[in-house]
Amino acid sequence: MSTNIVDYSRMKFYCDEQRCIHCDGCSVACSEAHELPVEISRRKVVTVNEGKQGMEFSLSVACMHCTDAPCEEVCPVDCFYIREDGIVLHDKDKCIGCSYCLYACPFGAPQFPSDGAFGTKGVMDKCTMCAGGPEQTNSHKERELYGQNRIAEGKVPVCAAMCSTKALLVGDAESVSNVYRERVLAAGHGVQSAPYGWDKAYGK
Amino acid sequence: MANTWGYGAMTNSLGDIQNSKAIIIFGANPAVNHPVGFQHFLKAKERNNAKIIVVDPRFTKTAAKADYYAQIRPGTDIPFMYGMLNIIFKNNWHDKNFINDRVYGMEDVMEEAKNWPIERVADVTGVDADLIVQITKHYAQHTPGTLIWAMGLTQHTNGSSNTRMAPILQLALGNMGVEGGGTNILRGHDNVQGATDMCCLSHTLPGYYGLSDGSWKYFAKSWGVDYEWLKGRFKDPSWMNKKGFTLARWWAGVLGGNPGEDAIHNADTRLKALFVMGNGITSTAQTKKVKEALDNLDIAVFVDPFVNEGAIITDKQDDVYILPAGTQFETSGSVTATNRSAQWRTEVVKPMYESKADQDIMFELAKRLGFYDELTAGMKIRENKKEYKWPEDATDEIARIIKTIGLTGWTAKRLKEHQENWHMFDEVSGRGYGKMTGEYYGLPWPCWTEKHAGSPLLYNINRSVKDGGMGFRNRFGLEHDGEDLLAGKGSAPKGSVNKDGYPEITRDNIEEVLKIKLTDDEKSKIGKNWKVDTSNIIAEKCMEQGMAPYGNAKARAKVWTFADPIPLHREPLHSPRTDLVKEYPSFTDKKNHYRVDTRYASEQSKQDWAKDFPINLVTGRLVNMNGAGMENRASKYLAKLTPEMFCDIHPDLAGRSGIRDGSMMWIHSPQGTKIKVKAKYSFSVSEDRVFLPFHFAGVMEGESLLHKYPDGTAPYAIGESANTVTNYGYDIVTQIPETKGGLCRIERA
Amino acid sequence: MEYKVHHMVGIKRMENKSFFSEYKVYLIIGLLFAILTYWYFWLATIADIGYVYQFLLQIAQGNITGQVVPFESLSHHEQMETALFGPNYNAIAPEVIRAFEERQHLLPIVFAVEFALFVTMFIIAKGRKQAEITREDDKVQVYSLFQRIVLMLNIIVMIYLFITGFSITFGNWTGGGEIARFMRATHEIVGVGWIPVWLIMTIIAFKDHKHFARPSMKIWNKIFLRGSYQPMNRINYYAYVAFGFLLVLSGFIIWWMSPDAATHAETIQFKRFILFIHFMGSAIISFFTFETVYSYFVSVKGYIPGVITGKLPVEYLEQLRPDVLAEEDLRK
């Protein structure tokens, strides 16, 4: 194991496809906790190769809070801001709903409610790693717009907290990596060198 | 299972699975049905290098995590296990010492196993012969192995044979009573084990006491009511000992005697009133019959937090009542988990709006029906009170009375203490530390005394009885056909004064078997036997002597009171293999089976079902839904995940029938019913079967029933009930419906 | 009439001109396009052109997922990533990502260059051409009511789309917020509304119909705009049709295939490509729009009352738009 000092300098998500059983606990927990509209799926679970022996896997996908986040790069109105610990958040009041961030995102994290007349998109909504938004922490407005701010209360983001099999982990990158490493060593065979999506999100 | 070794419940625990070296799962889908519990399976796989073997008609989410997967034809688990046993016996992989000391009747099984060479098994089950050998070899050689099952094994006409076959397999390998072994039947719904223990069933009093006069008298005394008064509640005393209708076939009680319906034996009357309390009545087989019965009742009452769709499928307009019940958050009490342990739940919010907690509804009903005082008398006995306190006094009443499964230790005080200290127990073994040392989490029953630690692993003779150890129960007598049924020499729980097998303890044999002397005072207080010993002296003395009150016997592979003493393969009533039906026909028809004449062989051979209904039908669960789905389909995020009823169908099968992915299809049953559902291409089913989830209701044979929901109560998702097309068929002993293996015909809509 | 003879003589003389002088406008524009295409695709882009080509072929065959090789041929890791996140992100997305900030910097430069180009052309053409009108009352009905409505609508809508569209692009300048959001939302709605306008405009402005069939002139002229095209104006028209089509198609798809979490992996690659088409279409059409504005309103003085009534003085037409007068039914 690493040192006992956890400095939370870089928060990451990790989903272990050896454990994910597509129970959708994470996606439902997220929707419930933040009282999202039904058409938004901040977190979703995807199963690949369903029904095929040796090939079927499931993974829970949401915003990865990337290093050099592409969404932040492309936003025309610069409504994103990235926290010190890597959590990528945005300001819904500034957002104009152009959806460029969605096109730029490798993971499809930004979501748009069908808000307006004539099928226009509303403002962007995405996983906040339960860290709220630019409004005052734990204020009513923050809760209305962005959902719970659990990080500010020292709580685990609700998706990972609810994960049935602890496939989904979140937290300081080093601690998460350690858990991953332990599991890889315990399994002893047949796992890829990095969790899916980590090279896209956090670079090599 | 109870008929094999005394108790019919999960023998080990979920946490204990982390000790297994091999896990074989028959007809269960824990990844979907126990997602959190499945963590233990995965940890066993990760840390213990345990291999997971799944035997299931479809490639489930559990199978996706398995190392070996056998796509078995529904209803052929007995041949599969015989095939395994045949290989095991041939290669001497069985545990001879264990069998010798603790099992009766294995020779008959060995004989029968010879009728199942591997090619035969492969033909009948549809599983590749090599795979069966591989699975058997691995499972037999990596002990301790645990055997998991659920509805896939029980919901067949020979379900009770299936559930004896699996224990026999484990007994042959010596996997019983060890950490990481056991037969771990996974109970589904929250507190279903508790409901089972309280025997919300029509063939026994609470605690599995049965319906004999002796049991009734014990309960009369324990409840503090007059036995004669109880007797007088029945039409005549003979009815006191007769089994009632089951949940599976209550409707026959309404329709019985109609042309084409099975005859009933109900004292020449029909069922007139139905009171449904928290039961998804639309999730039992033959929904159309359920509807017909509901239509013909005098009064139907549905008590539920959400609108029970029983009220929706019926056309009855008058005398249908829907009473709002509170949820589990609006009441307190104990619940029993699948591993026989109890947990205390505390009320979070008072019952909202006009809803009442279940017990209050029952008390109100009892008041109006005139037996409220009798109903509540038992709660005041223990401390001789004037007023009872709910739920603590109810819990203590249960602890006081139920001895058969050793609930004596389940006082409200102890359970609450566990709730407050639930972080002080080990995840795998359940042992408490710190303040909770000496107790297992949830005090898994049997918890013989108020100091007992609980018994997390049944039949484990490597622990002392005080620490949860015991042998098999002496339930079936002392000998049969000249053979001793008590356990062999030296196979008693650790630290026992009596090192060999011994019978269940009674007033008459206690001094001899326990090698003690009772005082006169004790002799006057002691009960007739351990099951009716209100004084609990028997249990206390047994604990001192390190012995289990229920004896130490052999498990029996042969149940001489059953239609099939050793399990035999019988094809499902509606089988796709007409040739095998001739070789392995079902049972002879059973008269007065829980008051209904039930057809077996006559139904099976009525016509060549496979000809017109060639596709095997399997039903099962979805992870985001539960039971009849009333609650989940009214929850928007859960409904969003599966908003429509569907049928998993292999693309090739669909292609042959001209059914496109996402288009509608009809499914017809041999009973003449049909449903219209959306086809969903899936490789998880093979080409000869389809899969239906059973959580939907609100559409009947293509017609939407949406308009029948009271304003504002319609759930977000409605759909056809799978059980509209599940076939006729009921287990020979329990009458559970044969939903996991019927036939159907599909066509494009 | 004098002018007409002059004109006809001019036509005769044209037959002796060289290929180059006759088609010079087309050649110049064509060359510029070729240079632009070469520069973009082979020098400036970081998208994987080979992939884009394959993608287009797949789209033609109905596969819009962006998976250009069979899914089954991918390694397990690649399969997982593709099924979860969509295919080959790097092949298209950098274009969308990187070009974004650059667009805000480069576009003003491009517009400035275009502006300089027009100023230059203005100087070379020696200022604005005007018609001398002596007989104000001698007018002919050139544009029907229907045509006037379509033309006005087209102008107003395009102006609105330009403004709101570039408000999205120049987000750094607007800073976001309520108004910018409103502009973006109405850009989508008005854009969809532009589809029928563009379609009708395409039809009625098809002045080259003369080269194809000639049924009753009366009906024909009620629909099609009068006159015939000069080379540059023809180019403007066909550019309007072609890039308008791309904008209409891509805009409609962006609006219709609203971002949907459930189908994300299957549709996102296509949406990225479509977005790129939309940007490209708007950039190019803006040049031809400026050119149209220049040739109809800047290099030539227009007759404003005619915009409302549809009637233009004959003298005006004689001097500046003889091709309109060449239509038989207008000749009195």
> Tens digit of pLDDT for each residue in C265-281?
888 889 888 888 898 89
Among the partner residues A39, A73, A118, nearest to C189 by beta-carbon distance: A118
pLDDT value of residue B375: 93
DSSP assignment of C166-202 equals HHHHTHHHH--SHHHHHHHHHHHHHHHHHHHHHHHHH
Is C272's CB within 8 Å of A57's CB? no
Mutation test of the interface with chain A: which of C46, C75, C80, C252, choosing the one with the most A Cβ atoms within 10 A?
A: C80
One-letter amino acid at B722 equals A
pLDDT value of residue C3: 45
List of chain C residues whose C-beta atoms are within 8 Å of the C-beta of residue A104: 93, 96-97, 100
> Tens digit of pLDDT for each residue in B487-502?
888 889 999 998 888 9
What 3-state DSSP class applies to B743? Answer: strand
- C224: nearest Cα among C283, C294, C146: C146
Mutation test of the interface with chain B: which of A47, A53, A182, choosing the one with the most B Cβ atoms within 10 A?
A: A53
List of chain C residues whose C-beta atoms are within 8 Å of the C-beta of residue A96: 168, 171, 176-177, 180-181, 183-184
Is B46's CB within 8 Å of A186's CB? yes
- CATH number for the region C2-330 comes to 1.20.950.20
In a domain, A5, yes or no: no
User: From its phi and psi, is residue B382 left (phi > 0), alpha (psi between -120 and 50) or beta?
Assistant: alpha
**Count of CB contacts below 8 A, A vs C?**
139
Q: Please say if the pLDDT value at position C4 is more than 70.
A: no
For residues B341 and B432, what is the distance between their CA atoms, to the nearest angstrom?
14
> Tens digit of pLDDT for each residue in B137-171?
999 999 899 999 998 999 999 999 999 999 999 99
For residues B414 and C70, what is the distance between their CA atoms, to the nearest angstrom?
62
Domain count, chain A: 1
For residues A69 and A64, what is the distance between their CA atoms, to the nearest angstrom?
9
Q: Give the Cβ contact number of residue B482 at 10 Å.
A: 5
Do residues B256 and B270 lie in contact, with contact meaning Cβ atoms separated by under 8 Å? yes
- B30: nearest Cα among B177, B184, B190, B192: B184
Is B623's CB within 8 Å of A22's CB? yes
Chains touching chain B, criterion 3+ CB pairs below 8 Å: A
For residues B591 and B581, what is the distance between their CA atoms, to the nearest angstrom?
22
List of chain A residues whose C-beta atoms are within 8 Å of the C-beta of residue C181: 95-97, 123
Cis peptide before B391 (omega within 30 of 0): yes
For residues A165 and A172, what is the distance between their CA atoms, to the nearest angstrom?
19
Tell me which residue range forms the domain holding A19: 11-202
List of chain A residues whose C-beta atoms are within 8 Å of the C-beta of residue B49: 188
For residues B363 and B293, what is the distance between their CA atoms, to the nearest angstrom?
27
C81 at A interface, C-beta within 8 A: yes
A144 at C interface, C-beta within 8 A: no
Among the partner residues A44, A104, A120, nearest to C189 by beta-carbon distance: A120
Q: Please say if the pLDDT value at position C133 is more than 60.
A: yes
Beta-carbon contacts of residue B733 (< 8 Å; ≥ 6 apart): B159, B160, B562
Among the partner residues A56, A164, A188, nearest to B64 by beta-carbon distance: A56
In a domain, A73, yes or no: yes
- Domains, in order of start, for chain B: 2-185 (3.40.228.10), 192-212+220-399 (3.40.50.740), 578-748 (2.40.40.20)
- Using alpha carbons, list the distances in angstroms from residue C314 to B623, C8, C213, C221, C304: 80, 18, 27, 17, 15
Chains touching chain A, criterion 3+ CB pairs below 8 Å: B, C
* Closest CA of chain C from A6, distance in Å: 30
Q: What is the mean pLDDT of each run of 10 residues along chain A (204 residues)?
A: 66 91 95 91 90 89 90 90 93 90 88 76 91 90 92 93 94 88 79 71 73
Is B35's CB within 8 Å of A32's CB? no
Q: What is the CATH number of the domain that holds A65?
A: 3.30.70.20
Q: Which two tokens stand for residue B540?
A: 């206390």
pLDDT value of residue A118: 73
pLDDT value of residue B93: 95
Cis peptide before B693 (omega within 30 of 0): no
pLDDT value of residue C8: 46
ipTM: 0.90
> Tens digit of pLDDT for each residue in C213-261?
666 666 777 778 888 888 888 899 999 999 999 999 999 998 888 777 7
List of chain C residues whose C-beta atoms are within 8 Å of the C-beta of residue A117: 189
Instruction: Kindly report which listed range (A5-19, B554-568, C60-74) carries the lowest average pLDDT score.
Output: A5-19
pLDDT value of residue C128: 84
Is A165's CB within 8 Å of B42's CB? yes
pTM, entire model: 0.89
Q: Please say if the pLDDT value at position C47 is more than 90.
A: no
Q: Which two tokens stand for residue B166?
A: 């699996």
Mutation test of the interface with chain B: which of A18, A20, A24, A181, choosing the one with the most B Cβ atoms within 10 A?
A: A24
Q: Which two tokens stand for residue C284?
A: 């190019």
* Domain spans in chain C, listed from the N-terminal domain onward: 2-330
A58 at B interface, C-beta within 8 A: yes
Q: Which two tokens stand for residue B413?
A: 């005080």
Residues in chain B: 749
Q: For B465, which DSSP code?
A: G
> Tens digit of pLDDT for each residue in C19-42?
777 788 888 889 988 998 888 888
Q: Residue range B93-116: average pLDDT?
A: 94
Q: For B50, which DSSP code?
A: P
3-state helix/strand/coil string of B422-447: CCCECCCCCEECHHHCCCECCCCCCC
Max intra-chain CA distance, chain A: 56
